[in-house]
Amino acid sequence: MIFFLIVVKRLPECLVQRIRQQSVSLNSSLDYYCNWLPSSGPEKILFLSPREADPPQEWIHQMTELLSFSIAQYLVSDLSPLLLEDYLRFRFSDLPRKERGEIAALVRSKHRLCGTGFQERIRQRLREYLLHEDRYLNIEGFVPFRLPDYREELYSLMEEVVEDFLSEKEYREFVRLLKYFLELQEPKIETVHLAIDGRGDFQITDQWFQKVDPKEWEEFDLDYLAGDGDYEDVLASMLVTVAPRQIILHQNVLHRYPRVADTLRRIFDRRLHFCHNCSYCRLDVFHHLITGDKS
């Protein structure tokens, strides 16, 4: 007797729906029984067999194609989000439940964007297994033993999303604290212009476009900002300390350091103003600040 047995533990109705949808999509004339067998455990066993007593030779090949497509779709779209949540609970159990929920939503969204490539690879392995090895398939057992690389990619995706989430959380807390400190500061200067000079270094000038040395305010080293350091931390902390009544952010900062611009916008809110190709930018004043050229 010819038949396929598919063992599924979670979302069995989704698997059956995938099989039916794929059968319609392929415009298949494949005639088969599809029933659930009794099971003593939490798993459900799907039984598929030809309706004919003596089916044509190609029936097995056609059913293999149908199942490999359908199970690959089920695994990527339905089961994988649950596998990711399993890993999230196990690997990051110390995170609050609310944060784990936010991370799960983020990783589901990211997984949907890259799932197509995974699906084709999985379909091919399912096809080889069902056609040449066995017509009994335990789906959740197939993943760790036959798709270990896919499982590792899922875990790597989760690690990446968690890292980004925690970095963003730390960034928001940093901004919140600086906003709080800003409210406590008395302004030490009326206006600060922030721009990038010809070497790519940050330049700070006052309302008359005279170069300002941050060391006059606090023990900050502007030279630190010339490298690849954490611009947001040092620059934002320095500006919060002097609490200017307004900051003019010039065009070359927006283009070169959009993250810095966004950080300052979040902290200084209405105190921050964006230059719209002002006359000083057109004259390239900040380039001349390096050499002291006033021409």
The answer as to whether 156 is a domain residue is yes
End residue of a domain, out of 176, 211, 230: 176
| Residue 251 banded pLDDT, cuts 50, 70, 90 | confident
| R_g over Cα of the chain | 30
| Same domain as 141, residue 61 | yes
pLDDT of 204 over the 70 cut: yes
DSSP label of 38: P
What does the pLDDT average to over 180-200?
A: 89
Q: Which residue has the higher pLDDT, 115 or 78?
A: 78
What does the pLDDT average to over 139-149?
A: 95
- The answer to whether residues 289 and 203 touch, using CB atoms and an 8 Å cutoff, is yes
Q: Give the rounded percent of residues in the chain with a pLDDT score beyond 70.
A: 87
SS3 content of the chain, % helix, strand, coil (to 5): 60, 15, 25
| Same domain as 190, residue 96 | no
End residue of a domain, out of 154, 176, 198: 176
The domain of 267 spans 186-291
Burial of 80 (0-12, 13-18, 19+ CB in 10 A): buried
| Residue 227 banded pLDDT, cuts 50, 70, 90 | very low
| Residue 238 banded pLDDT, cuts 50, 70, 90 | confident
The answer as to whether 164 is a domain residue is yes
| pLDDT in the model for residue 284 | 62
The tens digit of pLDDT for each residue in 257-277 reads 888 889 999 999 999 999 887
End residue of a domain, out of 157, 176, 195: 176
The tens digit of pLDDT for each residue in 124-142 reads 999 999 999 999 999 999 9
| Same domain as 145, residue 26 | yes
- Contacts of residues 129-138 at CB distance under 8 Å and 24 or more positions apart, as own/partner, are 130/4, 130/64, 130/67, 130/68, 131/60, 131/61, 131/64, 135/3, 135/4, 135/5, 135/60, 136/4, 136/5, 136/7, 137/4, 137/5, 137/6, 137/7, 137/67, 137/71, 138/7, 138/43
The tens digit of pLDDT for each residue in 20-69 reads 999 888 766 788 999 999 988 899 999 999 998 888 888 999 999 999 99
The answer as to whether 181 is a domain residue is no
Q: Which residue has the higher pLDDT, 196 or 75?
A: 75
The answer as to whether 138 is a domain residue is yes
pLDDT of 113 over the 70 cut: yes
| pLDDT in the model for residue 54 | 85
What does the pLDDT average to over 2-13?
A: 96
Q: How many domains does the chain have?
A: 2
